[in-house]
Structure 1
Amino acid sequence: MRELKFLNQFFWKYRWRMLLGIAFICISNYFSVLQPQVIREALDLVVEQVNNYRMYDGFTTVGDTYFGILSTTLMFFAGLVLLLALLMGFFLYLTRQTIIVMSRLIEYDLREVIFDHYQELSLDFYKRNNTGDLMSRITEDVNKVRMYLGPAVMYLANLVSTILLVVISMLAVSTKLTLYTLIPLPLLAISIYYVSNLIHTRSTFIQQQLSKLTSIAQEVFSGVRVVKSYVRERQQVRYFAEESETYKRMSMDLAKIDAWFFPLMVFMVGASTIITVYVGGLQVVAGNISAGNIAEFVIYVNMLTWPVTAIGWIASIVQQAAASQKRINEFLETKASIVDPAPTEREALRGEIVFENVGFTYPDTGIRAIRDLSFTLRPGEKLAIIGRTGSGKTTVADLLVRMYDVSTGRILIDGKDIRERGLANLRQRIGLVPQDVFLFSDTIHNNIAFGAQHDPSREEVEQFARHAAVYEDIAGLTQGFDTLVGERGVTLSGGQKQRVSIARALIKRPDIVILDDCLSAVDTNTEQQILGYFNQALADKTAIIITHRIYGHLRFDKIIVLEDGGIAEMGTHEELMANGAYYSEIVERQMAEEVGK
């Protein structure tokens, strides 16, 4: 139960629903307990009338009178039992409308809490954990927890109230018979305790294996192009089947343990019934109780069948919920490595950027990506960052939007350390087009509008699509801007996805623009259109363009060549050409390629 303490806040939030539901359960069980008493009265009446009839044996008129009275009385008792059953059912309905609805509301709240926390966590968290495991905890694990929040609570309240009401009613009739009837229950409690521990342990492993299955399926479906192009379908099927077989075996073992519960409950209840009939019969002979009391006790014992059976079921649910909540708590207790110091900040950025001896090492791999990087950009200046693969170019972009914090040194924007700036405001003011383009499985219009801080009109979306030189491509599609791009934008070409991503960044109207190699899949003519807009729209904005190639249509105030995370060259185009080093080699090679075309 230690792991489930986190859920107490939700019980408190919906306490009135829960208390009302428990009250309805008690009322329902009260009417349920009255039924055996009515049946006892009816049976005693029948026995009494039969004995009286024997006294008047041979008197037809008197016998008919007795049978008429008996028939009328039994119909009254039957109607009373039916009325009690209807009342019991009505309050049971109200119980489900309160407690089960409460569990659904808590399920909704819990998923919101988990999802919000996921979004607050930093990028390093997502590199350590796979998507399938994240999905499993917010779906399968929450489902397991909901069974504890609703059905388990409802049946536990039903169990407690039923046992209390039934035992009190039984004690009112015969203390001795009650004690004999309840003898099997301690043995049942010990058995449940032992089996519950087994269920808890195995449920944890089953949920972990289910997360692994979800991860495998998610990766295969996301990378289905690679799987098909390498003809690895059969291999993936075999791998998934092996892991599924492991999950099936673990689930079957758990099912075998669960299978012991019901026969064990039935055996114990059957033993109680036999004891009731035997000891009760002796009590009737002794004149301590009536025959109707035996029938009453037998019904009571059978009324205890489901609550007693539910002990094991509830224990199983609680154990599984505890295992699932433990997995949920592991992530909820994870703290974001990037802290927002000023959530309410709304300050615009002028665009001055200063790197002071910045060093950065990736926390998950220990790779040193940046070392002693220093440069200054004044507001409105343009910077190009060039370098070989793995030289740290993308890391510079990630550090500027605080996907990570620097390991050493500091980054200043407008003279203020970015670690002291509001995180949300910082990212809203910077338009980043990442190297790894991601589009949502939605319409093109919504993908572009996603970047805006307001709800943009269709005309505004189309305007920025023109700026990104993708309007004509979109207009040529059957449904235009209402075209669904598919998962990760699979229906669009690489160049189209890049340009949609550019439009999404520009519609933010950012103060600082960072383009991370986002024109690699764009042809020369389209590149000229985009850069032409950049020359106009970015004239007064600070811009950093990370690239493998040189854009002759865009004038840079400063160019940095990175190598192994440090600055190998820095200066203007003319200065770097005069150096005759790596930068000049790139320019000459690029010019030779363009001449060759």
Structure 2
Amino acid sequence: MKHLSSLNKYFWKYRWRLILGILFILISNYFSILAPQITGFVIDAVEKQLPGYSPRKSIHAYDPLVKSIVSFTNDVNFSSLVILCGVTLLLLAILRGFFMFLMRQTIIVMSRHIEFDQKNEIYAHYQQLDLGFYKRNSTGDLMNRITEDVSRVRMYVGPAVMYLINLAFTIGFSVFYMFRTNPKLTLLVLSPLPLLALTIYLVNTIIHRRSERIQRLLSELTTTAQESYSGIRVIKSFVQEKAQQKYFAENSEDYRANAIGLAKVEAIYFPSMALMIGLSTLITILVGGIYAMQPGSGVTTGTLAEFVMYINILTFPVSAIGWTASMIQRAAASQKRINEFLELKPDIRQPQAALTSPISGNIDFNQVNFTYAQTGIKAVSDFSLSVRQGEKIAIIGRTGSGKTTLAQLLLRMFDPDSGTIEIDGTDIRKFNLQHLRSKVSYVPQDVFLFSDTIRNNIGFGLDDFSSQDVVKAAMAASVDREIEGFSNKYETIIGERGVTLSGGQKQRISIARALVKDPGIIIFDDCLSAVDAKTEKQIIGNLYTYLQDKTAIIITHRIFSLFAFDRIIVMDDGKITEMGTHEELIRVKGYYNYLYEHQQEEPEESE
């Protein structure tokens, strides 16, 4: 239950809705508890009209409102009394229903507001967490916590809280008036309830354990489905539909078995409730009937009817104990999972007194070392490099040599284990994160496009952009002609992850997205692997013109002989092994020369 304490801030935020809801529950229960007293009074009045009735002592602990109604009926005939009491019971039922409506309008609506706020809080927190977090956790689990877990928490802050408060007031009112009428009979009637409480405690312990396991299994099931949908092309290409179906069915069966097991445990509640309520009703009729036949007991037929109605009023609240307890236990398990992520602090944090000074484009890597915590792989080792404003640098190396890691370190997706990275002489850890990343454009190796228009995908990095800016960037990326050929041109909706486009089109739109920001520093991470040789030359020609006054770092596996780089860096095992201009590296006869000669031997792709 301690995990649910983190929700108290929401209760405080919506305290007036909660207070009003509690007030409406109180009023609703007050009107419902008057009906048994009026009914008992009417039955006693009917009994007095029966032949052979003999007056006897009776004890009535009527509510003040009921007393005023009783006193008002003293001077009316029997028919009028019955009609008046019937109208009163109808009016009480209407009032109770009206305040129950208000009760739900306050507390249940409050729970929807809390659900909205919590989802936004979780999503905002997800945005703040670093890349290491996303490497450790699956997308399906992230989705499950923000949907299924939040939904279960909503059931606690709404229905569970409402029923719990309703339960407290109903039992409080009923037991109070029952004790005032006949304490001994009350104790006998309520005697099965301690056994019921013990049953609830034992079953709740089991429910809590199983709820946590079910939520974990649901996360795994969601992850399996999400990966299957995202990788459907690969699944179909390798004819693995049946294998994936079998794998999903196994996970689904595990979830089903545990969910059914939990349902069976929960099924103990309602029969237990019905049994205890039945016993209480039986005791009321049996013992109450015996008392009613004893002169001087103070128990009348009306009292007996009143107690039976009290027991019936208690039926739903008491039976809801199990349901409410189950909702609370499930919510606690879900909130625990939510808190696990909300309590995580990102490794990459906004610095105090963060700088937002202009960035011109001078970059210095000073003895930088970095190792991936998840794998233990040392990606960058004692790396030092100075890049002056406006320089064009190519970084070449084998797969796993640390090229992409340098780009991610420059964007502060990770912080180096040791050494510093400076821009214009300032450590990047002192810059405002949003400011730094807004001034550095990055074209990633793995292109990601959103299911939106081409126009919005290109302008994604800007809060405000014009159509002219988008077209200019598309022209620089050599993709404008193809976009103009689409039926809706720049307003064409592309599918999820750009599935309706070719690999080359996606890469060029990603390049246009980086160029439209007009940054001082731009990083291209092997972003031309999916285009043909002719388009590659065209893009390089456009980029050479576009990047005249900008600092550019181009990470690649290919040699762009048409692009006049100021320096070319060759990396291996996270270190610089060769550095110089194209001509200098050819004379060295090292890896660069080998790569260049091998590339020259490859036949040029046909148009």
Q: Which bracket does the TM-score occupy, shorter chain normalised?
A: over 0.9
How far apart, CA to CA, are the structure 2 residues paired with 1:48 and 1:434? 91
How far apart, CA to CA, are the structure 1 residues paired with 2:266 and 2:570? 65
Counterpart code for 1:183? S
The 8 Å contact of residues 280 and 294 in structure 1, kept in 2 or not, is answered as yes
TM-score, with structure 2 as normaliser: 0.94
The 8 Å contact of residues 342 and 421 in structure 1, kept in 2 or not, is answered as no
1:280 counterpart SS class: helix
Structure 1 residues 503 and 596, CA gap change in structure 2 (3 angstroms): closer
The 8 Å contact of residues 367 and 419 in structure 2, kept in 1 or not, is answered as yes
How far apart, CA to CA, are the structure 2 residues paired with 1:580 and 1:336? 45
Structure-1 residue corresponding to 2:61: none
- 1:431 and 2:477 are equivalent in the alignment: no
How many residue pairs end up in the alignment? 584
How far apart, CA to CA, are the structure 2 residues paired with 1:53 and 1:581? 119
Q: CA deviation at 1:594?
A: 5.3
Q: CA deviation at 1:516?
A: 0.3
- Choose the corresponding residue for 1:393, options 403, 409, 432: 403
- Choose the corresponding residue for 1:524, options 526, 529, 533: 533
How far apart, CA to CA, are the structure 1 residues paired with 2:5 and 2:387? 52
Q: CA deviation at 1:595?
A: 6.4
- 1:488 and 2:497 are equivalent in the alignment: yes
Structure-2 residue corresponding to 1:274: 282
Structure-1 residue corresponding to 2:599: 590
- Choose the corresponding residue for 1:101, options 109, 113, 129: 109
Q: CA deviation at 1:70?
A: 3.1
How far apart, CA to CA, are the structure 2 residues paired with 1:220 and 1:309? 42
Q: Equivalences for 1:41-52 in 2 at 5 Å?
A: 41-51=41-51
Structure-2 residue corresponding to 1:159: 167
Q: CA deviation at 1:443?
A: 1.5
Structure 1 residues 107 and 228, CA gap change in structure 2 (3 angstroms): same
Structure-2 residue corresponding to 1:135: 143
- Choose the corresponding residue for 1:335, options 339, 345, 352: 345
Structure 1 runs of 4+ aligned residues shifted over 4 Å read: 52-55, 594-597
Counterpart code for 2:475? R
Counterpart code for 1:159? L
Q: Equivalences for 1:56-95 in 2 at 5 Å?
A: 69-95=77-103
Q: Equivalences for 1:184-583 in 2 at 5 Å?
A: 184-286=192-294, 287=296, 288-342=298-352, 345-452=355-462, 454-583=463-592
The 8 Å contact of residues 354 and 431 in structure 2, kept in 1 or not, is answered as no
- 1:146 and 2:154 are equivalent in the alignment: yes
Q: CA deviation at 1:283?
A: 2.0
Structure-2 residue corresponding to 1:30: 30
Structure 1 residues 217 and 568, CA gap change in structure 2 (3 angstroms): same
How far apart, CA to CA, are the structure 1 residues paired with 2:176 and 2:47? 26
TM-score, with structure 1 as normaliser: 0.95
Q: CA deviation at 1:225?
A: 0.4
Counterpart code for 1:215? T
Structure-1 residue corresponding to 2:73: none
How far apart, CA to CA, are the structure 2 residues paired with 1:407 and 1:325? 34
Counterpart code for 2:374? D
Q: Equivalences for 1:178-189 in 2 at 5 Å?
A: 178-189=186-197
Structure-2 residue corresponding to 1:65: none
How far apart, CA to CA, are the structure 2 residues paired with 1:473 and 1:289? 92
1:139 counterpart SS class: helix
How far apart, CA to CA, are the structure 2 residues paired with 1:557 and 1:52? 118
The 8 Å contact of residues 269 and 319 in structure 2, kept in 1 or not, is answered as yes
Q: CA deviation at 1:449?
A: 1.5
Q: CA deviation at 1:54?
A: 11
How far apart, CA to CA, are the structure 1 residues paired with 2:528 and 2:338? 41
How far apart, CA to CA, are the structure 2 residues paired with 1:94 and 1:332? 34
Counterpart code for 1:233? E
Q: CA deviation at 1:458?
A: 2.5
The 8 Å contact of residues 476 and 539 in structure 2, kept in 1 or not, is answered as yes
- Choose the corresponding residue for 1:123, options 131, 138, 142: 131
1:521 counterpart SS class: coil
Where does structure 1 lack aligned partners over 5 or more consecutive residues?
56-67
Q: CA deviation at 1:532?
A: 2.5
Structure 1 residues 298 and 54, CA gap change in structure 2 (3 angstroms): closer
Structure 1 residues 478 and 342, CA gap change in structure 2 (3 angstroms): farther
Counterpart code for 1:293? T
Amino-acid identity (%): 56
Structure 1 residues 104 and 292, CA gap change in structure 2 (3 angstroms): same
Deviations 1:104-141 (A, max 9, x none): 10111111111111111110110111100110111111
Where does structure 2 lack aligned partners over 5 or more consecutive residues?
56-75
1:569 counterpart SS class: strand
1:373 counterpart SS class: strand
1:24 counterpart SS class: helix
Structure-1 residue corresponding to 2:21: 21
CA RMSD of aligned residues (A): 1.6
Structure 1 residues 43 and 344, CA gap change in structure 2 (3 angstroms): farther
How far apart, CA to CA, are the structure 2 residues paired with 1:543 and 1:359? 22
Structure-2 residue corresponding to 1:6: 6
How far apart, CA to CA, are the structure 1 residues paired with 2:512 and 2:304? 82
Q: CA deviation at 1:336?
A: 0.4
Counterpart code for 1:254? L
Deviations 1:368-392 (A, max 9, x none): 1111111101111111000111111
Structure 1 residues 168 and 16, CA gap change in structure 2 (3 angstroms): same
How far apart, CA to CA, are the structure 1 residues paired with 2:52 and 2:583? 124
Counterpart code for 1:13? K
1:440 counterpart SS class: coil
The 8 Å contact of residues 37 and 296 in structure 1, kept in 2 or not, is answered as yes
The 8 Å contact of residues 533 and 605 in structure 2, kept in 1 or not, is answered as no
Deviations 1:266-321 (A, max 9, x none): 11011111111122112212231211111010000010011111111111111111
Counterpart code for 1:542? T
2:277 counterpart SS class: helix
- Choose the corresponding residue for 2:179, options 171, 187, 190: 171
Q: CA deviation at 1:72?
A: 2.9
Question: Which has the higher mean CA deviation after the structures are superposed, 527-536 or 462-471?
Answer: 527-536
Structure-2 residue corresponding to 1:60: none
The 8 Å contact of residues 358 and 374 in structure 1, kept in 2 or not, is answered as yes
1:196 counterpart SS class: helix
Counterpart code for 2:175? V
Structure 1 residues 342 and 182, CA gap change in structure 2 (3 angstroms): same
Question: Which has the higher mean CA deviation after the structures are superposed, 212-221 or 306-315?
Answer: 306-315
How far apart, CA to CA, are the structure 1 residues paired with 2:112 and 2:164? 18
The 8 Å contact of residues 386 and 559 in structure 1, kept in 2 or not, is answered as yes
Structure-2 residue corresponding to 1:64: none
